[in-house]
Amino acid sequence: MRVVDRLAQRESSWRELEVLLSKMGDARQPRLNTDEILRLGELYRAACTDLMLAESHDLPRDTVAYLHALVGRAHNAVYRAQGFRFRDCARAIFDTAPREIRRDRAVRLSALVFYGSFILCGLIAAAREDFTEKVIGASYVAQMDEMYSRPINEARKDAGERNDTAMAGFYIQHNTSIGLQCFAWGLLFGLGSLYQLLSNGMILGTVFGHMARTTYAENFYTFVTAHSVFELTAIVLSGAAGLRLGYGLIETKGQTRLASLHREAKRALPTVGASAVLFVMAAFVEGYISASRLPYWSKASVAIASAVILALYLSLGGRAPRERSRLVVRADAGSNP
């Protein structure tokens, strides 16, 4: 059989490859199933062979050019390396992340460990004066008392006009270091993340409880109220991502530990992304609002708005419109007597 005749019989395969490539590139179309992906690979390899035959036998330029373009499209589809796209980033944060967070048991365990230790130590520190020094040390207690001994307005006036943007950058660096520790220590089979969650919960809860019983309580809560919602939630999410890594090392599901770790790390990425966004938001609130001269009611309003935004994000994010409407109807029905 002549090469020309053979390639003429192959035109139907080229058209089939074009259809699969068009379906793969159309966001409105469903993703290719397993059989279609395997078929795409077969057609791509066959098209490469057809291109070599067309070039070696000096077939018409139009045919060679068409096959060049087809093989190039197929190559980019099979071996594509997509760059950064805001659409993909937004989909991961606002669609994938809340859906994964809602169904992830690691998030529930992380919240239980962190908030449980936070509330328990806060109550004990508020009731017993000696407890605080045992947890954070006498020198740190003295440092905290000195830091919040004066109202924010007086402290800023004595320190002069500071650069809020620079402070926000400092808080981003500080918050990120906490999140990275909670996440990265999950490589110790999750025990490192549990320790970080427990220690951060104990220290922060003790500080909150201790300051509540001092004469500096108003100064302290005026500073921490606005950004606490975002920051504490970010700690929980970063710890949950670390627990997810530890789970991958313990429950391999028949895979090698490295492959299992890769599987769970990929699953934890949306949670890590949401945690990073919350840390950055907390840093900006801390730099521009918490340390400002704004009255306490305005900072409390920011905290309430932050809590409402988080509640809506975690409960409605990633749901289909019909599913969201059902949840709203249920909430309305529950609120009516």
**Average predicted confidence (pLDDT) for the chain:** 83
336 three-class SS: coil
Read off the pLDDT band of 2 (50, 70, 90).
Answer: low
Q: Measuring CA to CA, which residue among 59, 63, 98 is closest to residue 275?
A: 98
User: Per-domain residue ranges for the chain?
Assistant: 3-78, 86-332
pLDDT at 337: 44
Burial call 110-137: b when 16+ CB within 10 Å, e when fewer: bbebbbebbeebbebbbeeeebbbebbe
Choose the weakest-confidence range: 3-12, 79-88, 141-150, 305-314.
Answer: 79-88
3-state secondary structure of 254: coil
Q: Do residues 193 and 242 lie in contact, with contact meaning Cβ atoms separated by under 8 Å?
A: yes
Least confident span in 71-85, 163-177, 297-311, 319-333: 319-333
pLDDT surpassing 90 at residue 119 = yes
Q: Which residue has the higher pLDDT, 119 or 91?
A: 119
| 318 — pLDDT class (breaks 50, 70, 90) | confident
Least confident span in 103-117, 200-214, 321-335: 321-335
* Residue 9 pLDDT greater than 90, yes or no: no
Assess whether pLDDT exceeds 70 at residue 1: no
At 29, is the secondary structure helix, strand, or coil? Answer: coil
Compute φ and ψ for 320, nearest 5 degrees: -70, 155
What is the rounded CA–CA span in Å between residue 213 and residue 93? 39
Cα–Cα dist 199/201, whole Å: 5
pLDDT in tens, 50-89: 888 878 877 778 888 888 888 888 887 777 645 556 676 7
- What confidence score (pLDDT) does residue 68 get? 85
